[in-house]
Structure 1
Amino acid sequence: MDQIKEKVKLAYDALEDKKGGDIRMIDISGVSVIADYFIIASGDNINQVQAMTDNVEEVLGRAGYYAKIEGYRGGGWILMDYGDLVVHVFSKEDRLFYDLERIWRDGREVSPEELV
């Protein structure tokens, strides 16, 4: 497994471990230079959103990957920038409002099975 797919899989598993809702992985490498992948997930409340973020940071940190993190205090939308991977963790309300899946619909949605 190449490095970016490993990173995406680790982040996906960390979000899933904290019961992240509607986790979507989008390959945007063909449509943007911002990153290769986006992961978008939502939590039921701010505590869950922060716990999901903490878990991603811990799991990827153990693997040697470190992020710039924005929005942690507010907890409505936390962005974790790993360079080639950007993880967006939303409250349900903020996710509906910003609708990143619609904005990045030109990207290709990836299933967990494609990462192994």
Structure 2
Amino acid sequence: MVRLAVEALDEKKGEDIKIIDIQGVTVIADYFVLASASNSSQTQALIDNVEEKLFKAGFECRQKEGNLSSTWVLLDYGDVIVHVFSKEDRLFYDLERIWRDGKVVGSVEELD
């Protein structure tokens, strides 16, 4: 699921895509996948592509927070939570710092 989400974000030119392994830190999920978008149109394209790819693979989004006018959209797939931010909001909320007890995964290959 993480691999598909990262591929979907990368296909639509998501920026600064990061995977954070939070399995040993919390029970809310196993992974966060973060990406930045340069504008609301790109945010929507990123979200649409993630939803489409994961749906086709048989994964249903449990919860979606945010909409077209949001600067932070969250897709909750249970074990994986995808966050798409505007660049400004990503810096402001700084999930990488908040979840620093998690392990930043360098690439999807490290998940294998």
Tell me the TM-score range normalised by the shorter chain.
over 0.9
Distance 1:72 1:109 in 2: 27
Output the TM-score relative to the length of structure 2. Answer: 0.94
Distance 2:18 2:72 in 1: 15
Q: Contact 2:2–2:108 (CA<8 Å) still a contact in 1? A: no
Identity %: 63
- 1:36 maps to 30
Aligned length in residues: 110
- 1:80 maps to 75
Gap regions ≥5 residues in structure 1: 1-6
Distance 1:50 1:115 in 2: 27
- 1:114 maps to 110
Q: Deviations over 1:10-46 (max 9, x none)?
A: 0000000000000000000000011000001000001
- 1:65 maps to 59
- Displacement after TM superposition at 1:72 (Å): 1.7
- Displacement after TM superposition at 1:74 (Å): 2.4
Q: Contact 1:50–1:75 (CA<8 Å) still a contact in 2? A: no
Output the TM-score relative to the length of structure 1. Answer: 0.91
Q: Contact 1:27–1:109 (CA<8 Å) still a contact in 2? A: yes
Q: Contact 1:42–1:95 (CA<8 Å) still a contact in 2? A: yes
Q: Deviations over 1:55-100 (max 9, x none)?
A: 0000000001011211023230000000010000001011111110
Q: Aligned AA for 2:56? A: R
Gap regions ≥5 residues in structure 2: none
Q: Is 1:102 matched with 2:97?
A: yes
- 2:39 maps to 45
Q: Aligned AA for 2:60? A: Y
